[in-house]
Structures are given as C-alpha cells and as structure tokens.
C-alpha cells in the first residue's frame, strides 16, 4: 500500500521568508513518481511538478525548488522569498507503476503568507 | 488549461435523492477520475475510467457509481445521497503514458441536507 504524509497541516510566514513544505512517502514500488499540486483559495488544483524515482537531482523553477531524497523517502518543496500569492494548500502525491496513473495524495499543507 | 468542465459547480439536495455529476473533457485523454476532497483527507479516489465502458473502483467507492459511454464524458452518480457525501468533488484526466500528471476540473461543491 502507498502512503503520503504531509505532517505540517498549516504554516504561516511573513512575506519574503523562505518556507519548506515537507512530504514523506511510503511505497514498495522500485519505480514511482512524485508530484506536487497547488490549490489556491479559488479552489482549482494546479499541477506543479513530477519527478521519477530514478532522478534525485534537485529542481529549481524560479522561486520554487524541490529536494528529492530517496534515502529518507522525502520530496520537500521550498518557496524562496514567499509572496502573498503563494498562499494556498499544497498537496504532495505519489504514483506507482500501475495502469491508470492513479495518485495517492497527502492530506495537504495550508500555507498562509502574510504581508 | 486542460479542457475539463464539471457540472454543476454547486448543488444542494436532500438526503435520499439521486445526484449525478458530469465531467466533460475536450483533450481526448484515455484516463478519467473522480475524487472527493474533505478537510484533513486530501483527495481520495472514488472511481476511475481507463476507456469507454471501462471503469474501476477507487479507495472510497461505496455509495457511488460511474459511467463512461463516450471518451469525453464521465458521470458520477450518488444513487441515494447521504449527508456523509457532502463534499467537494473533482474530476481529473490523464493522458496515456507512464505516470502522466493528472489535470483537474474546477470542482463541484455538493451539499446534502
């Protein structure tokens, strides 16, 4: 069985602070994929990134960066110099090698960035 | 944005009534999914489809049925709605290929009184 844990249910920061959202996963698959989604207050779910289990290189996209560590089964997401527009619920998700590209989601972390 | 339309966007109904939610896609994607989102639970898969007339159960399928008679439409039916099915429902689609990301519709807020 697969499981994704986002232990931080809510985080509050002041604008321009850096913030890291934690994601820990469990799977028996040797090949798997990890995802992050953003859900802003308007409610839609926005795909941010997909990484496969064989690629442990960190990825940076503007103010966003992702740190994948297989040794600790973690796929953490850092926002540098946070902005009010970053306020959202962020979900980490996991997909094994299965027919149907099914995802197992974590419970989400609500990030509040205050001006 | 992925061409996914959910209807209705909001619905209030009474316990015991049947409810059908519709998901329509214009991307011709093979896979379609229905999730429910509840506080503290993230998104949980209800049912999914891997082709016309091909569907399977997800984690929380009890009380729900689905149908897919055309590639573009995936219907979720609550045969006899209960208050525990009050939730936000999301449809998602995914292309063929290993672990392609899912793209989501805007959600349907369903309240059962």
pLDDT at A60 over 90: no
Structural contact between residues B61 and B79, judged by C-beta atoms closer than 8 angstroms: no
Q: Which residues of A touch B104 (CB under 8 A)?
A: 37, 44-45
What is the pLDDT, as a whole number, of residue B42?
Answer: 86
What is the pLDDT, as a whole number, of residue B107?
Answer: 96
What is the pLDDT, as a whole number, of residue B97?
Answer: 74
Mean pLDDT of chain A: 93
CA distance A37 to B77: 26
- Among the listed ranges A54-58, A96-100, B34-38, B51-55, which one has the minimum average pLDDT value? A96-100
- Which of B29, B38, B43, B55 has the highest number of chain A CBs within 10 A, making it the mutation to test binding with A? B43
**Average pLDDT of span B30-52:** 92
Query: A75: which 2 tokens?
Result: 């796929």
Question: Would you call B101 and A105 a contact, using CB atoms and an 8 Å cutoff?
Answer: no
């Amino acid at each position: 069985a697969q499981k994704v844990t986002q232990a931080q249910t809510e985080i509050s920061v002041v604008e321009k602070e850096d913030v890291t959202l934690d994601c820990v996963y469990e799977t028996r698959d040797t090949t798997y994929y990890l995802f992050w989604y953003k859900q802003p207050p308007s409610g839609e779910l926005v795909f941010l990134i997909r990484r496969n289990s064989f690629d442990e290189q960190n990825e940076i996209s503007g103010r966003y960066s992702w740190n994948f560590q297989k040794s600790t089964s973690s796929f953490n997401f850092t926002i540098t110099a946070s902005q009010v527009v970053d306020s959202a619920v962020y979900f980490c998700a996991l997909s094994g090698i299965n027919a149907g590209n099914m995802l197992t989601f974590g419970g989400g972390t609500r990030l509040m960035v205050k001006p | 944005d992925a061409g996914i339309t959910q209807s209705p966007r909001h619905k209030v109904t009474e316990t015991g009534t049947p409810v059908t939610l519709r998901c329509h896609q214009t991307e011709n994607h093979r896979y379609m999914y229905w999730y429910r989102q509840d506080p503290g639970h993230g998104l949980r898969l209800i049912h999914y489809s891997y082709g016309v007339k091909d569907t399977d159960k997800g984690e929380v399928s009890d009380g729900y049925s689905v149908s897919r008679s055309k590639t573009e439409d995936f219907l979720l039916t609550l045969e006899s709605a209960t208050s525990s099915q009050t939730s936000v429902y999301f449809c998602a689609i995914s292309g063929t290929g290993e672990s392609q990301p899912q793209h989501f519709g805007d959600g349907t807020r369903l309240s059962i009184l």
